[in-house]
Amino acid sequence: MFCRFPVATTVILAAWLASSPAFGAPGAVWSEHHPRDKFVGDEALRDVRDPLANHRARADRSNVLRGNFENCPHDYDVLHYDLSFYELNELAGALDAVVVIDFESRVDNLASIDLDLTSQLTVSSVLLDSTTPLAFSHVGDVLNVQFVALPDSGDVVSIDVAYSGPPWNEGGGGFGGFWFQLVPKNAFSMGVGLNADPPSMGRAWFPGWDWPCDKATVSLHIETNFNRVGVGNGTLVGKDSTATHHTWHWQHDYQISTYLIAVSVAKYQVLSDSIVTDPRIDVYHHPQVAAEAPVSFQYTDLMMEAFETRLGPYPFQEFRFMTTTKGDMEHQTSVSHLYTLVNGTNSFDDILAHEMAHMWFGDCVTYGDWRDVWLSEGFATYGEAAFREYQSGTAEYHWYMSNLVMNRVINSGVTDGVYDPSFKWGVEAYEKGASVLHMLRGILDDDVLFWQVLQDYHGNHAYGNAVTTDFLADVAATVGQDMSWFFDPWLYGTGHPVYEYGWSWDDVGGGQYQVDVTIRQVQGTGTLFDVPLDFRVHTVAGDEDFSERIDLAEETVSFVVSDVPTGLTVDPDDWVLDEQQLAPTSVDFGPDIAAAQALSLKVPRPNPFRIRTEIRYYVPTTGPIALVIHDVAGRKVRSLVDGPESAGSRKVWWDRRTEDGTKVAAGVYYLRLEAAEGTRTEKVVVLD
């Protein structure tokens, strides 16, 4: 989903140092901006650490849809949804629909079933087999349907639910639910609520068992005016026309979770097949972006080729992008793509690749529990880098993983593990999840085996569900060993490694030189990581590479090289999500390195600014810090950070607002960073 969005290495910003970049100690590391960052615009930042917090954690909790985390199996299994929409009226903000639900009872004497449906919608009738009225109640977000003749286990039952009204969505600035937009006109669903509990948004616009683990097939019948197109999941199997309207018939005979069912109605145009030549792929776009679409979607064929090469055959019959006024969302076979991102450039190819990768991971193989969301978002984020590699080569892959994936985790300051993070839509599931796959690839050191791991996992759970333990078991089966020693700290622990290392060397005779490296894990989060770590010893004659499995709080490793050592680089190819600092005892520790590893507050950028500015700082040790903005009179304007932080590089944003959300006047303001090591200040100028 969207979802989520330049130095060559992740953990060594050697350019900061006056010494040779190859041999310098690490300093602060900063990630490049990702296209996902552009979704906020001029909206006030609710969390200065992360602009996407506006979408992910709304302060207005009245917008939150609450529910129970109920799992599968339950007392019935939905087999098929047949959805008919007779009205999707933007001006009225309402729909009129009937859904036919075929389900199989899993218990004897099934007296009633509960269906998820938000209270904003009004149910007018429930019929058994399209003829016999059934009693029902609709209390809160639960539609309860009662049976007279009680089905037994294995019986297949069909009910028709007629309903209408204004469908629910997350409100201003939100994401999930059903939306009616007037400029440009668009009626569409968004399958995930970023503030909803649970996040499934099928219930916002049709009744069903709205949990990812209950998959079913689906058909959709969408009535529109003549100048509009209705798009759903799967294959367009027909279009009926009357004197006043079209009805678009879509059929999807593959298992699908409710949150991945989609509908979108707009004055769509279809991109020429001279641009997207794969006959399985279409692009439905708003006429407002007709001139820009040929460029923005020009690599769609290549994306499909890349993923089929790496992950195996496309798991469905057809695929399409459809522009919507919110996005992005990986609805199965019909990805919703934010229409303003169709801008005549390829700036947002990474988002397109992310959503296409979801067809394998997230859609065909769907997590069985929301705690396992990384199995979807982490894999799709890794798909961004995989496409970059296929398109532009290995160096581009490593640059992308370093700068736009791993550095985003490092800079975030977030320490949650990948599994069941406190916030489902943050860097933990997306970038940290992708980093786990990247590190697994580095550990295996065999690309054929790595892609086989992903293909086997996909094949074992295709068209079904999986949880994290399933993935770990599949990895172990393909690799031939239990990999929990690697996975457990990343999935269930906290933070990431921060290595402090020092090295020295001795002439041991015979043209041989021993290099001793003492390395400590100083992250201070309570989790020790077990990772094969690469060491590159630079010598007069050239570089020599070694690898050691580092799993202790402190250990010493030794290497023998064949010429005089001149430097040492830890994790030179950025296979590990880590940070590093050089110990003062190291042979190459000097004033420049000491300065690079000291407490620092960088000049904000941009400066001056009008909307928001980025503030970067480096904390050399774990402990409490405070970052506060003051006006010229010394009055506190905004506290950006106040509390304990682990050592490392960080960045936050200021949106020129005070604690209560009021925009400050143009003028001069001062940043003050306080930590155990001292105080740093910088000036920032706000313009109107």
* Whole-number pLDDT of residue 197: 83
| Residue at 405: amino acid letter | V
Tokens 């679409």 belong to 293
pLDDT digits (tens, 9 = 90+) for 241-255: 998 899 999 999 999
* Whole-number pLDDT of residue 653: 86
Q: Could you tell me what percent of the chain has a pLDDT over 70? A: 89
Compute the distance between CA of residue 432 and CA of residue 429 in angstroms, rounded to an integer.
6
Question: Of 35, 52, 151, nearest to 104 (Cα)?
Answer: 151
Whether 370 and 356 have beta carbons less than 8 Å apart is answered as no
| Mean pLDDT, range 658-687, rounded to an integer | 92
| Mean pLDDT, range 310-334, rounded to an integer | 96
| Residue at 288: amino acid letter | Q
pLDDT digits (tens, 9 = 90+) for 181-238: 999 999 999 999 988 888 999 999 999 999 999 999 999 999 999 999 999 999 999 9
Whole-Å CA distances, 581 to 407, 557, 595, 598, 677: 16, 17, 12, 10, 16
pLDDT over threshold 70, residue 118:
yes
Whether 265 and 187 have beta carbons less than 8 Å apart is answered as yes
How are beta strands 264-266 and 269-270 bridged, if at all?
A: unpaired
Q: How confident is the model at residue 32 (pLDDT cuts 50, 70, 90)?
A: low
* Whole-number pLDDT of residue 618: 86
Q: Is 431 exposed, middle or buried (0-12, 13-18, 19+ CB in 10 A)?
A: buried
Question: Of 254, 262, 445, 473, nearest to 360 (Cα)?
Answer: 254
| Mean pLDDT, range 122-139, rounded to an integer | 97
* Whole-number pLDDT of residue 174: 82
Q: How confident is the model at residue 598 (pLDDT cuts 50, 70, 90)?
A: confident
Compute the distance between CA of residue 553 and CA of residue 301 in angstroms, rounded to an integer.
48
pLDDT digits (tens, 9 = 90+) for 471-505: 999 999 999 999 999 999 999 999 999 999 989 99
* Whole-number pLDDT of residue 10: 37
Compute the distance between CA of residue 283 and CA of residue 385 in angstroms, rounded to an integer.
23
Question: Of 383, 466, 354, 370, nearest to 425 (Cα)?
Answer: 370
In the chain the domains, ranked by start, together with CATH numbers, are 64-260 (2.60.40.1730), 268-359 (3.30.2010.30), 368-492 (1.10.390.10), 498-588 (2.60.40.10), 600-686 (2.60.40.4070)
Whether 325 and 285 have beta carbons less than 8 Å apart is answered as no
What's the chain's Rg over C-alpha atoms? Answer: 27
Tokens 């990474």 belong to 350
Question: Of 261, 251, 121, 96, nearest to 191 (Cα)?
Answer: 261
pTM for the model stands at 0.86
How are beta strands 542-550 and 579-582 bridged, if at all?
A: unpaired
